[in-house]
Structure 1
Amino acid sequence: MKILINLFGRFDRLDTSINKWLVNNSILLLRISMGLVFLGFGILKFFIGVSPIESLATRTTTVLTLGVFAGHNAMIFVASLECVIGLCFLTGMFLRVGVWLLAVQMIGAMSPLLIYTGELFPGPMHAPTLAAQYIIKDIILIAAGMVIASTWTGAKIVARPQTMRSSLKKRIPNVYKNLKMVPD
């Protein structure tokens, strides 16, 4: 039994160390990951026939821009937007602009769910097509963008280390809110 308690104690210290590392690095890694995703998928859209969502994205962009961008120009517009977002997130420069562009891009990316509902959820059970699933997963990008946006004024995650043993009895870990509004 003593060996088991010793092993649990070691694991508990490892868990606490990992948590401290995550507090210090997770938002940076999230920002870089999102930057890579947007830059990578944006670059694909510059090339005709490479992006699996090309047809749907082209039609949606044409509708949303009232025909200002149509055909391959619509894809160039979306590709450029995604690459700019990716670069903002990767470099951390103009991050506030990048997050606002992300918000605009996500409105466009999610809009086919309303514009082309019948096409994206066909059949008797209204199961989503692969394209619909591709769009629905953008909810995660929206949430990640919100986390990154919360840091653009310098906010950080604050570590309040707890042992695993002390947190096992709680349904959810304590969330400490210490918000002080700073006047302009």
Structure 2
Amino acid sequence: MSVGLLFVWFGALKLLPGLSPAEDLATRVMSALTAGRVPADLSRPLLAMAEMLIGAGLVTGLLLRLTLVVFFIHLAGTFSALVVLPGEMWDGSVAFPTMAGQYVLKNVVLLAAGLAVAAHLRPDTRSSDDDR
């Protein structure tokens, strides 16, 4: 529940330009990952909506498997900043993250929370072709 609320909150901040401290970093990473094809004016609301949908899925439990897939893809994009923008993430070596690097690395906690949610999912009970 708390991770979901956090995603809704941080996503909502990205809907209003200038309110999210991660907005610039997130849009630059998105631009780098898409080779500049997705401009900041488009990536910011896309990221905001994705984060808010992830949050809503985690809070309500609706479409939880799909929510977790999007959640893990989102985190992969977040962690890619460590490689895509290394000059901003590291102060000389991997042992010394900058403040921005620390901001990204703290997402390990969110990753652990997502893995905990995924580990407690009930097995898919839909019948397979072998059951017919």
* TM-score for the superposition, normalised by structure 2: 0.86
CA RMSD between the two structures? 1.9
| 1:87-102 matches, cutoff 5 A | 87-102=56-71
Q: Is the 8 A contact 1:48 1:72 kept in 2?
A: no
Structure 1 residue 128 corresponds to structure 2 residue 71: no
Q: Is the 8 A contact 2:88 2:100 kept in 1?
A: no
The structure having more radius of gyration, on CA atoms, is 1
Structure 1 residues 2-41: Cα deviation after superposition (integer angstroms, max 9, x where no partner) = xxxxxxxxxxxxxxxxxxxxxxxxxxxxxx0111010010
Structure 1 residue 40 corresponds to structure 2 residue 6: no
**Separation of aligned partners in 1, 2:100 and 2:2:** 22
Q: Is the 8 A contact 1:69 1:77 kept in 2?
A: no
Residue of structure 2 in register with 1:51 after alignment: 20
Give identity over the alignment, percent: 36
Residue of structure 2 in register with 1:71 after alignment: 40
Unaligned runs of at least 5 residues, structure 2: 124-129
* TM-score for the superposition, normalised by structure 1: 0.63
In structure 2, relative to structure 1, the CA distance for the partners of 1:137 and 1:124 (3 Å cut) is: closer
**Separation of aligned partners in 2, 1:119 and 1:59:** 11
Aligned residues: 125
**Separation of aligned partners in 2, 1:84 and 1:108:** 16
Shift of residue 127 of structure 1? 2.6
In structure 2, relative to structure 1, the CA distance for the partners of 1:125 and 1:59 (3 Å cut) is: closer
**Separation of aligned partners in 1, 2:118 and 2:94:** 37
